[in-house]
Amino acid sequence: MTRPSLLACTECRKQHLKCDAQTPTCSRCLQNRLKCNYLPSRRGGRRKTREALRQHHDASSADLLLSPHPTDMSGRDASSTVSGQQNQRITPVVEGQVQDAADSDARLVRLYYENFHSAHPILVPAPLYEERKYPAYLHEVVTLIGGHFLSTGSLPDMASLQLSTDGEKTPCKVQALLLYSILSCARGECSQAHTSFSQAVDIALELGMYRQEYASTSSNAVEAESLRRTWWELFIVDVYMAALQKRVVLRCSGVPYDVALPCEESVYANYTNIPSPPTLAGFNKRIFANEETSYSSFSYRIEAVCILARVLVLNSLPETHRDHLQAVENALVSWTNHLPPNKVDIVDTYGSVDEILFQAHTTIHFAAMLLHLPRSSLRPVCPETECPICPVIPSRLSPSFTRHVHDIKATEASKQLSNLLSVRPSVQRYSPFVVFSLVLCGMVQLATSRIHSSECSDHHCNRIILVLGCLKTLKQKWPIANRAHYFLRSVAAETFTAWIESRYPQTSNAVPLASRNGPSYPPENNAWLSVVSSNDTSRPMETDAQGIFSPGLLSAYIDPTCSEPLLLGPMPDLDFT
């Protein structure tokens, strides 16, 4: 039986057919008059070295010269089109192919670091990637993620086979499985995501990565920092995964973890002078210290996720004491109040966005919506899909305030989250887990618009449009965002179509925009600005907005606010049922 060639042309690979690897054109491409190109196979590890490929093709070329020549469709001897000189050029062609593969891999790694690493920064900084020499299975995961940011589409998934066949239990295997689980979740492959993540947690717990001294076993400061980040990323993803399940299971929270906290992102990116890591106990005691100490954005992200975990556990209980609910509410409010001045905004003075701090703020608003929405009178439309695109929202839970107050708090949290989106315009670098926060934000805004007056529908509609715009960009890379965009757009269309048609009627006798929003005024009063003459002393120089703009313009172009009527409206009777 002839052994399959280690090299196959691209056309044979596409059709999953056996290729005889003849050069410059294989028999199948010669018969079908196709362009024959060769790329080194990615199966079985990293690309082969030039010397290994040279030895393989030197041997295979001798076999090909002794084998019967293939014939084309007309019955002619196909070897007549291949000169002896071309057979002698096998080695240089393969060397060029290996170089192309190296350039391609380098590009995929660069795309990974440019678009994904900042959201889940567990591997070593980009300049150290090649020097680190990660195992083949981890490299496959990195290039697979980087391939999702190619303009030509994603690459075939070769990482799954690599991860399943390699049975080693190392921190690198934990990192590979963790990243692959995040990718699977973004692709809507929920079962694969949970399987890979469960395997990552199993290995991490067996290795003892939750202990502070584990990272200290590495003499390399960058490697030790990477190990600390890997554990905390496991901890964070564990909570996000639990939010999508009906039954809350938090495996990483059930062990006595005491891993030191990660350093600041800018320090890690420079990697030359990584300081001694602060402890979790010191971070928790910072509020009672005499002097305020600023910790890394990663630390505040961890604290935000811990609060989210408290919300998930609280919502899973059949009965909740009012004090327990208030304690979580206090933690949500205190998180923002105790931020140092340099962590209040997600952008610095130069306009750079702190991706990790953005996730921390997003998580707090996400947790606030999850806490108050089930206890409010809002009734969002929930998606019915096999793969969840939003967190599990419990049925009507007992409130601690009136349901009216929970309405306000849930709506305010969704409002603050949408405000964050307007500050963070680079959507492509969002973590895939942000999709679930976006969907919940849109669901709350849609539910609120149904109980609010139609006068403030503009505000809710504008926020929905902002969320849909983010999902529209994300869906180009992540299938889960595509499902979320389709669901939210469909519900929004049902909610706002009638309102838009009533506001902008498409009839032949439609009145002008200004006439629909107010009475008719003489032409001289419809100017954009009312010019006040310096000689006119009959009108005060300080005028309000109605005095500056024509009456029709304010109602036509300035949306009425929806927060004041909601907050100042009459409070309903207490309802704790």
Q: What is the pLDDT of residues 12-70, one digit of tens each?
A: 877 778 888 887 788 777 767 677 887 755 444 444 433 443 444 444 433 433 333 33
d(CA 223, CA 172): 11
Residue 275 covered by a domain: no
265 and 326 both lie in a single domain:
no
22 and 108 both lie in a single domain:
no
258 and 310 both lie in a single domain:
no
26 and 142 both lie in a single domain:
no
Joined together, the tokens standing for residue 131 give 């020097």
135 burial type by CB count under 10 A (0-12 exposed, 13-18 middle, 19+ buried): middle
172 contact partners, CB below 8 Å, separation of at least 6: 134, 135, 138
Residue 373 covered by a domain: yes
Among 479, 502, 525, residue at a domain's last position: 502
213 and 335 both lie in a single domain:
no
H or E stretch covering 196:
helix 190-207
Q: Identify the pLDDT of residue 270.
A: 92
For residue 430, which amino acid is it?
Answer: Y
Looking up residue 21, the CATH number of its domain turns out to be 4.10.240
263 and 320 both lie in a single domain:
no
389 and 337 both lie in a single domain:
yes
181 and 230 both lie in a single domain:
yes
Q: Is the peptide bond before 380 cis (omega within 30 degrees of 0)?
A: no
Q: Identify the pLDDT of residue 334.
A: 95
Lowest mean pLDDT among 31-40, 117-126, 147-156, 257-266: 31-40
526 burial type by CB count under 10 A (0-12 exposed, 13-18 middle, 19+ buried): middle
338 and 247 both lie in a single domain:
no
Residue 201 covered by a domain: yes
d(CA 182, CA 193): 7
Residue 545 covered by a domain: no
364 and 476 both lie in a single domain:
yes
Comparison of pLDDT for 551 and 219, the residue scoring more: 219
H or E stretch covering 304:
helix 297-316
262 and 374 both lie in a single domain:
no
> Which domain range does residue 376 map to?
296-502
Residue 146 covered by a domain: yes
195 burial type by CB count under 10 A (0-12 exposed, 13-18 middle, 19+ buried): middle
Number of residues assigned to the chain: 577
Q: Identify the pLDDT of residue 557.
A: 55
Among 502, 526, 542, residue at a domain's last position: 502
| pLDDT of 72 strictly over 70 | no
307 and 263 both lie in a single domain:
no
- Beta bridge partners, 38, equal 9
Q: What is the pLDDT of residues 455-489, one digit of tens each?
A: 777 888 889 999 999 999 999 989 999 999 999 99
Among 219, 250, 269, residue at a domain's last position: 269
Residue 517 covered by a domain: no
Residue 458 covered by a domain: yes
Cα separation values, 208 from 167, 215, 255, 284, 305, Å:
18, 10, 10, 23, 22
Residue 140 covered by a domain: yes
Q: What is the pLDDT of residues 274-307, one digit of tens each?
A: 999 999 999 999 999 998 888 999 999 999 999 9
pTM, two decimal places:
0.73
Domain count, the chain: 3
